Amino acid sequence: MKTLVVGFITGLILTVSTAAASPYHTGHRHHHHRHWHSPPIHHWVVPAIVGGAVVYAATRPDPVIVQQPAQAMPNQVIIDGIVYTRQIMIINGVQQEVLVRVSQ
């Protein structure tokens, strides 16, 4: 999932940056409009920011989720992380101990 998100963001940024830079490299000159050329800093700042964001997103570790183990009361049992309560039921005149799942 993380790789898919990073790939999508990278593709989106590359598409936007290519679309933004394309009018300056068409080779067409409009003599009726005043042209000014951006300083050379714009040629490397945007790719540096995009590259830094991509590298940061790709190398950032996944968050670690720590869950506390369930604590059982004296009349409870834990099986596979699920808490059950011991109850006594009488079925057909026979007393039996059953486990009832505790809602969480």
Reported as a pLDDT band with limits 50, 70 and 90, residue 96 is very high
Closest C-alpha among 82, 90, 62, 45 to residue 6: 62
- The predicted-structure confidence for 26-71, as pLDDT tens digits, reads as follows 555 555 555 555 556 667 778 888 888 889 888 888 888 877 766 7
Q: Kindly report the average pLDDT of the chain as a whole number.
A: 76
Residues in contact with 100: Cβ distance below 8 Å, sequence separation at least 6, in sequence order:
84, 85, 87
- % of the chain beyond a pLDDT of 90: 14
The pTM (predicted TM-score) of the whole model is 0.33
pLDDT higher than 90, residue 2: no
- Domain locations in the chain as residue ranges: 2-59, 69-104
